[in-house]
């Protein structure tokens, strides 16, 4: 068999696809419906259900926003209404949808079928809505329970809408749930996030009360900007590394990739646009408020951003969004790569988490308003967030640690693994003045105007000017830019909420005890926080080596790899703020440490094994084919007494690189055999020595790819994957 068959077929397929055309929803006159006419048609929230009486809705709202238990008769009303709605839309099954520590989602389906007195009927009972009992033994638990007591419960999350999961031949009603163990331990991502919302709301309402502003509740909000790559599915299936690990383990860069910066915000190709249009349609029907779509920096890379929502709903929506991207991509013969680093040497993908706090009335506490220099509530809030970042930047780093994200952080495309804050000039001036107990020098009327103008300009410029910052203030929100594209947002958001809640509680204490007017007390507390935390503010170039040195001088942690970062989860001093506020128990944190470190190790080991296989089964055979061609020519030239050094040099060069490759693969193999049993030690060896070795192997494969004739190279190249479509 000609070994280049797969690659060539893939290349031909990729450039000859028919564009998929879908039926847009139309009105009776054949005019396309407005988004608002089909928005949310595949989602169900009791709040919007016409058949549920207002009194029931109000009672449910009370339950959802307090600690009150859910009365069964109320749940029954929702269960019956949701079921009728789902069936009317074609659903046959329901499932409790949850987010175990695998990082993705899980669902166990049951049909609505019930047999009553020998008759088939449909039913969804209050009990089935409220609680499920999936066997938890096969989900990661980091040794928190032995398998014989593997009972886990899923419980309905009233605050997040249900939605319909469309399959080729039917629909399933998905009920968002939390997943907890028999003993009440959180086995998922959602439970701690919900707890962090409670802690944050408590602290923020206390602070507001202390300054004379009463509100029932404060919530955190999140808007996610999701990056991803699209490649033709034929290439995907011809690259075992993509299928097994989600990223190419090696590849020689195409001569043009992102040097010309011509992809970012560029024309969206017709085939990709067709995909994006269907994606938006699906998301809007699911009630996910997709807003922005554009090309990203790297060829084949794109971004989608929905309108922000409460963090819990936004976290659920992001999971559904990622699954929908993958599902719709397949319909267009694409595969969506959500991995943080699908292609070495080309920008990877992140997920920016735009984060803010607002009251039940929708008042954004991070809104600087027209006069930030005298907006003391804003200054207090903002300085409290910075203090939180200063104290707990390490834990925030740990919460975004993953094998995939290690390729981005510090790779001059994403903010470094040092977590610092960016404020921009205007706010920096205000806070530095506050620190020194001075008024900002713009207190005069005229320059105050200038300052506001600057702020307006600054807001526009922010994204561009501080791409290098991990945590940037962008107008009326902070943007955590270090989160990886593939990861669930729940963990970093829980930690961030917890960190801010801790400082807001202390802020409330301070103001309550100060005996001064609210304005004076807020100025004092702002000074206190900025004096203590200004070291975490950095407005310069986060990609520069100078910042690495400067950050070290300032004593900011630089946790370079996942192996460095994860141990923070079991460091009581670092996690006190989470346990004291009841966001995590000590055991739950240890569980996460074990699960995440094991996940890191396993991902890396799969990558190493796959790399070795690819070398043996693809790279070496290509080399041998070329060597045999070269050898024949050299022999033939000898036979006719013709002297040429070209073929011999090539042969030697190829041979030398191949021998080096062979020996490095041996080393990697031996390294893998000698890995320590203990998870933490294992992760250290992997991160600190095997990774470097595997990257050397990858570089050698890349070099060889450039020497071997194109027709003898059997794996799809970066050129194919990123440009042929
Ligand atoms: P960018 O300049 O970074 O592209 P955008 O204004 O497009 O910023 O917003 C990016 C994301 O931030 C969107 O998801 C948007 O809904 C979200 N966002 C806007 N305002 C807020 C806010 N107050 N809190 C949280 N997220 C917000
Ligand atoms: Mg942004």
Inter-residue contact 43 to 161 (CB < 8 Å):
yes
For ligand 2, the distance from its centroid to the CA atom of residue 225, given in whole angstroms, is: 7
**What's the CA gap between 203 and 381, in Å, rounded?**
12
Inter-residue contact 375 to 427 (CB < 8 Å):
no
**What's the CA gap between 484 and 248, in Å, rounded?**
17
Inter-residue contact 604 to 148 (CB < 8 Å):
no
Q: Is the CB of 481 under 6 A from ligand 1?
A: no
Contacting residues for 288 by C-beta, under 8 A, at least 6 apart: 306, 317, 320, 321, 324
Contacting residues for 632 by C-beta, under 8 A, at least 6 apart: none
**What's the CA gap between 130 and 115, in Å, rounded?**
21
Inter-residue contact 538 to 234 (CB < 8 Å):
no
For ligand 2, the distance from its centroid to the CA atom of residue 197, given in whole angstroms, is: 23
Nearest protein CA to atom 13 of ligand 1, as residue: 223
Give the torsion sign (CA, 268, 710, 341, 286): positive
For ligand 1, the distance from its centroid to the CA atom of residue 418, given in whole angstroms, is: 23
What residue has token string 């599902």? 327
For ligand 1, the distance from its centroid to the CA atom of residue 306, given in whole angstroms, is: 9
**What's the CA gap between 375 and 367, in Å, rounded?**
9
| Confidence (pTM) | 0.93
Q: Is the CB of 46 under 6 A from ligand 1?
A: no
What residue has token string 């989470």? 578
**What's the CA gap between 655 and 630, in Å, rounded?**
11
**What's the CA gap between 476 and 253, in Å, rounded?**
39
State the ligand closest to the CA atom of 355: 1
Nearest protein CA to atom 24 of ligand 1, as residue: 356
**What's the CA gap between 642 and 652, in Å, rounded?**
18
**What's the CA gap between 224 and 290, in Å, rounded?**
10
Q: Which pLDDT does position 465 carry in this prediction? A: 53
**What's the CA gap between 265 and 259, in Å, rounded?**
15
Q: Is the CB of 305 under 6 A from ligand 1?
A: yes
Percentage of the chain beyond pLDDT 90 is: 75
Mutate which of 226, 289, 308, 362 for ligand 1? The one with the most ligand atoms within 8 Å of its CB, which is 308
Inter-residue contact 200 to 501 (CB < 8 Å):
yes
Rounded to 5, what percent of the chain is helix, strand, coil?
A: 50, 15, 30
Q: At 584, is the secondary structure helix, strand, or coil?
A: coil
**What's the CA gap between 322 and 286, in Å, rounded?**
13
Dump the DSSP string for 346-385.
S---BEEEEEEEEETT--BTT---S-GGG-HHHHHHHHHH
Q: Is the CB of 183 under 6 A from ligand 1?
A: no
For ligand 1, the distance from its centroid to the CA atom of residue 41, given in whole angstroms, is: 25
Contacting residues for 88 by C-beta, under 8 A, at least 6 apart: none
For ligand 1, the distance from its centroid to the CA atom of residue 461, given in whole angstroms, is: 14
Q: Is the CB of 221 under 6 A from ligand 1?
A: yes
Nearest protein CA to atom 16 of ligand 1, as residue: 307
Q: Kindly calculate the radius of gyration of the chain based on its CA atoms and give it in whole angstroms.
A: 28
Mutate which of 224, 291, 305 for ligand 1? The one with the most ligand atoms within 8 Å of its CB, which is 305
Inter-residue contact 509 to 210 (CB < 8 Å):
no
Q: Is the CB of 277 under 6 A from ligand 1?
A: no
Nearest protein CA to atom 4 of ligand 1, as residue: 463
Inter-residue contact 429 to 441 (CB < 8 Å):
yes
* All domains of the chain in start order, with CATH: 39-187 (3.10.20.70), 600-723 (1.20.120.1560)
Q: Which 3-state string (H, E, C) describes 376-441?
A: HHHHHHHHHHHHHHHHHHHHHHHHCCCHHHHCCECCCCECCCCCCEECCHHHHHHHHHHHCCCCCC
Greatest extent of the chain over all pairs of C-alpha atoms, in Å? 102
State the ligand closest to the CA atom of 362: 1
Q: Which pLDDT does position 489 carry in this prediction? A: 97
Q: Is the CB of 538 under 6 A from ligand 1?
A: no
What residue has token string 């990609």? 543
Q: Which pLDDT does position 150 carry in this prediction? A: 66
Contacting residues for 162 by C-beta, under 8 A, at least 6 apart: 43, 44, 45, 82, 86, 173, 174, 175, 176
- Counting as low any pLDDT under 50, the low residues of the chain are 1-4, 147-148, 443-464
Q: Is the CB of 213 under 6 A from ligand 1?
A: no
Q: Which pLDDT does position 566 carry in this prediction? A: 97
CA distances from 390 to 84, 136, 416, 473, 569 (A): 50, 37, 15, 15, 17
Q: How many CA atoms lie within 13 A of 356 on its CB side?
A: 21
Q: Which pLDDT does position 442 carry in this prediction? A: 54
Render pLDDT for 425-468 as a digit per residue (tens, 0 to 9). 888 889 998 888 887 765 433 333 434 444 444 444 433 456 78
Q: Is the CB of 310 under 6 A from ligand 1?
A: no
* C-alpha closest to that of 344 among 722, 653, 724: 722
Q: Is the CB of 629 under 6 A from ligand 1?
A: no
Q: Which pLDDT does position 458 carry in this prediction? A: 44
Q: Is the CB of 585 under 6 A from ligand 1?
A: no
State the ligand closest to the CA atom of 352: 2
562 token code pair: 């996942």
Q: For the chain, how far is it from start to end, CA to CA, in angstroms?
A: 26
- The angle formed by the CA atoms of residues 150, 153 and 156, to the nearest 5 degrees, is 165
Q: Which pLDDT does position 410 carry in this prediction? A: 73
**What's the CA gap between 694 and 428, in Å, rounded?**
43
Inter-residue contact 657 to 697 (CB < 8 Å):
no
Mutate which of 223, 307, 314, 477 for ligand 1? The one with the most ligand atoms within 8 Å of its CB, which is 223
- Strands of 169-327 (E only): list them: 170-181, 218-232, 290-295, 301-306, 309-310
Backbone angles phi, psi at 542, to 5 degrees: -70, -15
For ligand 1, the distance from its centroid to the CA atom of residue 307, given in whole angstroms, is: 7
For helices 691-707 and 620-639, the axis angle rounded to 10 degrees is 40
Q: Is the CB of 611 under 6 A from ligand 1?
A: no
């Amino acid at each position: 068999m000609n070994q280049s068959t797969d690659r060539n077929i893939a290349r031909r397929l990729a450039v000859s696809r028919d564009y998929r055309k879908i039926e847009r929803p139309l009105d009776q006159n054949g005019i396309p419906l407005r988004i608002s006419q089909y928005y949310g048609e595949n989602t169900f929230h009791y709040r919007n259900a016409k058949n549920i009486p207002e009194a029931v809705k109000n009672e449910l709202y009370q339950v959802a926003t307090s600690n009150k238990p859910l009365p069964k008769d109320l749940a029954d009303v929702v269960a019956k209404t949701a079921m009728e709605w789902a069936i009317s839309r074609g659903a046959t099954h329901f499932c409790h949808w949850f987010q175990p520590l695998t990082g993705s989602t899980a669902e166990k389906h049951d049909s609505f079928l019930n047999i009553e007195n020998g008759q088939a009927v449909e039913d969804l009972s209050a009990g089935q809505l409220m609680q499920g009992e999936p066997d938890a033994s096969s989900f990661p638990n980091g040794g928190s329970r032995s398998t014989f007591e593997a009972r886990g419960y899923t419980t309905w999350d009233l605050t997040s809408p249900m939605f319909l999961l469309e399959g080729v031949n039917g629909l399933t009603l998905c009920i968002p749930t939390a997943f907890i163990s028999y003993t009440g331990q959180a086995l998922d991502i959602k439970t701690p996030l919900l707890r962090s919302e409670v802690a944050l709301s408590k602290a923020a309402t206390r602070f507001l009360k202390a300054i004379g502003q009463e509100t029932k509740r404060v919530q955190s909000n999140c808007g996610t900007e999701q990056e991803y790559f699209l490649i033709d599915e034929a290439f995907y299936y011809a690259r075992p590394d993509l299928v097994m690990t989600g990223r190419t383990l090696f590849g020689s860069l195409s001569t043009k990739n992102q040097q010309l910066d011509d992809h970012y915000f560029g024309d969206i190709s017709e085939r990709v646009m067709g995909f994006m249009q269907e994606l938006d349609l699906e998301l809007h029907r699911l009630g996910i408020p997709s807003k922005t779509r554009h090309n990203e920096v790297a060829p084949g890379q794109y971004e989608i951003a929905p309108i922000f929502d409460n963090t819990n709903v936004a976290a659920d929506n992001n999971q559904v969004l990622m699954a929908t991207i993958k599902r719709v991509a397949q319909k267009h013969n694409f595969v969506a790569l959500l991995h943080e680093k699908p292609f070495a040497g080309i920008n990877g993908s992140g997920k920016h988490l735009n984060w803010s706090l607002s009251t039940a009335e929708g008042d954004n506490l991070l809104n600087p308003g027209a006069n930030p220099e005298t907006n003391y509530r804003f200054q207090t809030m903002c300085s409290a967030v910075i203090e939180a970042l200063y104290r707990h930047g390490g834990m925030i780093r740990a919460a975004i640690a993953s094998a995939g994200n290690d390729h981005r952080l510090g790779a001059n495309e994403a903010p470094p693994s040092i977590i610092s804050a960016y404020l921009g000039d205007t706010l920096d001036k205000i806070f530095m003045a506050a620190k020194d107990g001075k008024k900002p020098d713009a207190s005069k009327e005229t320059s105050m105007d200038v300052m506001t103008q600057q702020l307006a300009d600054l807001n526009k410029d922010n994204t561009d000017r501080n791409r290098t910052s991990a945590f940037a203030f962008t107008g009326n929100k902070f943007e955590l830019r270090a989160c990886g594209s593939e990861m669930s947002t729940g963990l970093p958001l829980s930690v961030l909420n917890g960190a801010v809640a801790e400082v807001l509680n202390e802020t409330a204490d301070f103001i309550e005890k100060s005996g001064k007017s609210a304005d004076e007390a807020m100025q004092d507390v702002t000074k206190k926080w900025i004096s203590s935390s200004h070291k975490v503010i950095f407005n310069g170039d986060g990609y520069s080596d100078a910042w690495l040195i400067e950050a070290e001088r300032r004593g900011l942690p630089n946790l370079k790899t996942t192996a460095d970062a994860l141990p923070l989860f079991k460091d009581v001093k670092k996690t006190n703020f989470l346990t004291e506020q009841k966001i995590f128990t000590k055991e739950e944190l240890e569980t996460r440490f074990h699960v995440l470190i094991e996940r890191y190790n396993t991902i890396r080991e799969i990558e190493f094994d796959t790399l070795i296989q690819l070398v043996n089964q693809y790279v070496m055979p290509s080399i041998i084919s070329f060597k045999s061609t070269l050898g024949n020519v050299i022999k033939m030239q000898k036979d006719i007494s013709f002297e040429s050094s070209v073929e011999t040099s090539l042969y030697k060069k190829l041979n030398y690189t191949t021998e080096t490759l062979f020996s490095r693969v041996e080393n990697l193999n031996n390294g893998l055999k000698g890995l320590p049993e203990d998870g933490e030690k294992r992760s250290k060896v992997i991160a600190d020595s095997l990774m470097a070795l595997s990257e050397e192997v990858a570089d050698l494969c890349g070099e060889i790819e450039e020497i071997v004739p194109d027709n003898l190279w059997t794996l799809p190249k970066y050129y194919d994957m990123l440009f042929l479509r």
